């Protein structure tokens, strides 16, 4: 009888274990998890609601949401696309809903329901869930893998090993990067690692004056090589900016060094559908119609008043001036500022790293099976690989799809 060990009870490990069991119930599966429960990061994702997957149905469009590893994911995504993921959970008693922004959640808005589907499956199978068990070392001897744990004097000996240990993000959930050491010990190389999907902290302090103010669509551009940019929702925070567009841009500049001495300059366009001349004309038109009103109040007819106050402060326009006393060049400067709000990012939002960019080098893994090319019988899935996506259910979708492919490869 084949014995398989899976180290890491997150999304990828859960799906790999479930799939192996479904395909061949005779396989003895050991799911090793250092926490006291499975799927800790799954449960807290999406603010505890668990953004299970995405409503995007075109796999090519889906693959474009991964700044790293999109080609590598092709086989896995076509084999287990978002609609198959949805069907899998719904067939196990977890109804899902798709929001207008195409993010998919359990109808209950409770991530625990996603993990419960696996708990119930494992309880009725020969999946041995080893909670509160920390793997410390792995070795391959001949065709067998030896897994040493803190909790046992005897190693666990198996025929196949799956590493689904996650990255280094959300360290309190157990993602401490041990998997990189295991992979290296078995002959693999690890790329540079960086936090991704994080907030930006700025040297400018004025954002805290409008903390919580959000915009449904803006274009944020990083003033570095290639001018990476992303359009979507964002908000101002006490320390800078955050939200989906910021997270996405952070993944595009994950490996860019920046700090107080060498800040990352970004530019925010609050009116991406207008040219700067169009916006200037709008400001002038509103000012002409409200000639005797204070200019900051006139600007407050086009943008939230709290932001209008920031504009005049930043540009040094007198708050006592009425619209008909403000020079046209200052109206043009206001338009230019709103089309390219300048900010200097000095720090990644601590603790906000939802995923780790970088990981096991993809050329060392067979994308058709997820088996190691350098250590037969070893498989990888999830964030340990050099694969990461934008926010919106894409990282969980990749974990389900790759975990499924590992399970199919072993189960067959």
- Count of domains observed in the chain: 2
Would you say 58 and 87 are in contact if contact means Cβ atoms under 8 Å apart?
Answer: no
Same domain, 344 and 399: no
The answer to whether the beta carbons of residues 205 and 237 sit under 8 Å apart is no
Q: Which DSSP string do the residues of 6-19 spell out, in sequence order?
A: EE--SHHHHHHHHH
pLDDT tens, residue by residue, 152-187: 999 999 999 999 998 765 545 545 578 999 999 999
Domain boundary among 332, 350, 368: 350
Task: Give yes or no: residues 46 and 169 share one domain.
Answer: yes
Same-domain status, 182 and 227: no
Residue 388: pLDDT above 70? Answer: yes
* Pairing between β-strand 194-196 and β-strand 53-54 as defined by DSSP bridges: unpaired
Residues 397, 266 share a domain: no
Band of the pLDDT at 412, cuts 50, 70, 90? Answer: confident
Last residue of a domain, one of 350, 365, 398: 350
Instruction: Judge if 117 and 170 occupy the same domain.
Output: yes
Residue 369 has pLDDT above 70, yes or no: yes
**Of 18-27, 44-53, 322-331, 392-401, which range is least confident?**
44-53
Q: What is the pLDDT of residues 206-259, one digit of tens each?
A: 999 999 999 999 999 999 989 999 999 999 999 999 999 999 999 999 999 999
* 25 and 170 share one domain: yes
User: Do 233 and 171 share a structural domain?
Assistant: no
Token look-up 């479930």 returns: 18
- Report yes or no: 234 and 244 within 8 Å, Cβ to Cβ: yes
Q: Which residue has the tokens 């070795």?
A: 139
- In this structure, are 256 and 385 located in the same domain? no
How large is the angle between the packed helices 11-23 and 112-123, nearest 10 degrees? Answer: 30
State how far the Cα of 353 lies from the Cα of 170, in Å rounded to an integer.
7
CATH code: domain of residue 71: 3.50.50.60
Range of the domain at 400: 3-194+353-411
- Claim to verify: residue 159 and residue 12 sit in the same structural domain: yes
Residues 269 and 372 grouped into a single domain: no
337 and 221 fall within a common domain: yes
Q: Burial, 274: exposed, middle or buried (Cβ in 10 Å; 0-12, 13-18, 19+)?
A: middle
Do 46 and 182 have their domain in common? yes
From the centroid of its chain, how far is CA 318? 43
Last residue of one domain, picked from the residues 307, 323, 350: 350
């Amino acid at each position: 009888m084949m014995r398989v060990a899976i180290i890491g009870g997150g999304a990828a490990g859960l799906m790999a274990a479930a799939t192996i069991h479904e395909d061949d119930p005779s396989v003895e599966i050991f799911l090793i998890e250092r926490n006291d429960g499975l799927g800790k990061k799954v449960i807290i994702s999406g603010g505890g609601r668990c953004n299970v997957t995405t409503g995007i149905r075109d796999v090519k469009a889906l693959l474009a949401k991964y700044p790293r590893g999109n080609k590598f994911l092709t086989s896995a995504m076509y084999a287990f696309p978002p609609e198959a993921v949805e069907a899998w959970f719904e067939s196990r008693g977890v109804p899902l809903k798709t929001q207008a922004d195409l993010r998919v959640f359990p109808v209950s808005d409770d991530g625990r329901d996603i993990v419960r589907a696996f708990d119930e499956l494992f309880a009725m199978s020969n999946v041995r869930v080893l909670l509160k068990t920390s793997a410390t070392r792995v070795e391959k001897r001949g065709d067998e893998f030896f897994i040493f744990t803190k909790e046992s004097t005897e190693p666990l000996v198996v025929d196949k090993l799956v590493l689904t240990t996650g990255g280094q993000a959300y360290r309190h959930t157990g993602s401490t990067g041990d998997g990189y050491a295991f992979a290296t010990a078995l002959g693999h190389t690890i790329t540079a690692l960086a936090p991704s999907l994080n907030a930006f902290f700025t040297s400018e302090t004025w954002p805290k004056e409008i903390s919580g103010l959000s915009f449904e669509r803006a274009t944020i551009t990083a003033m570095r090589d290639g001018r990476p940019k992303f359009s979507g929702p964002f908000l101002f925070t006490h320390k800078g900016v955050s939200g989906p567009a910021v997270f996405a841009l952070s993944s595009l500049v994950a490996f860019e060094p920046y700090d107080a001495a060498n800040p990352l300059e970004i530019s925010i366009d609050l009116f991406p559908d207008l040219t700067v001349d169009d916006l200037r004309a709008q400001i002038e038109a509103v000012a002409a119609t409200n000639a005797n009103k204070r200019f900051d109040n006139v600007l407050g007819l086009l943008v939230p008043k709290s932001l209008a106050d920031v504009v005049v402060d930043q540009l040094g326009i007198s708050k006592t001036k009425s619209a008909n006393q403000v020079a046209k060049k200052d109206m043009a400067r206001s338009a230019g500022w709103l089309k390219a709000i300048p900010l200097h990012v000095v720090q990644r939002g601590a603790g906000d790293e939802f995923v780790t960019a970088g990981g096991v080098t993809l050329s060392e893994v067979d994308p058709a099976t997820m088996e190691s090319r350098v250590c037969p019988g070893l498989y990888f899935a999830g964030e340990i690989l050099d694969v990461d996506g934008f926010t919106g259910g894409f990282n969980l979708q990749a974990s389900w799809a790759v975990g499924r492919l590992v399970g199919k490869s072993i189960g067959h």
